[in-house]
Amino acid sequence: MEQSQPEKRRHLEEEFQAFEEEFQASLEELENLLQESSTEDEEITATPTDNIGELAALDDETHIDLAALEDAVADIENYLEEITKSK
């Protein structure tokens, strides 16, 4: 049985809202990752040292969760696809 226009519209609006919430959550996660990275970068540049070993250790500590970043990008891509499909 085919849905009526108002039902289809309501369903699309619900889907859009779900995608928007997912997108916002991913965006916040990405912003948090970037802020953490920025803070870590500031700490690293504020640490004067002549020891190469210490610099290498600091580099190892500067870690961005690649999987979380990829998830955020995938969510953004899905969101953009859904928006362009519904237009």
pLDDT at 52: 65
Amino acid found at 29:
E
Mean pLDDT by 10 residues, the chain (87 residues): 81 89 91 82 58 63 76 91 82
pLDDT at 67: 84
Q: Give how far Cα 23 sits from Cα of 33, 56, 78, 85, 87, Å.
A: 15, 35, 9, 16, 18
pLDDT at 76: 92
pLDDT at 57: 64
pTM: 0.41
pLDDT at 74: 92
The SS3 assignment for 63 reads coil
Annotate 1-35 with DSSP letters as a single string.
Answer: -PPPHHHHHHHHHHHHHHHHHHHHHHHHHHHHHHH
Rounded to whole angstroms, the Cα distance separating 87 from 85 reads 6
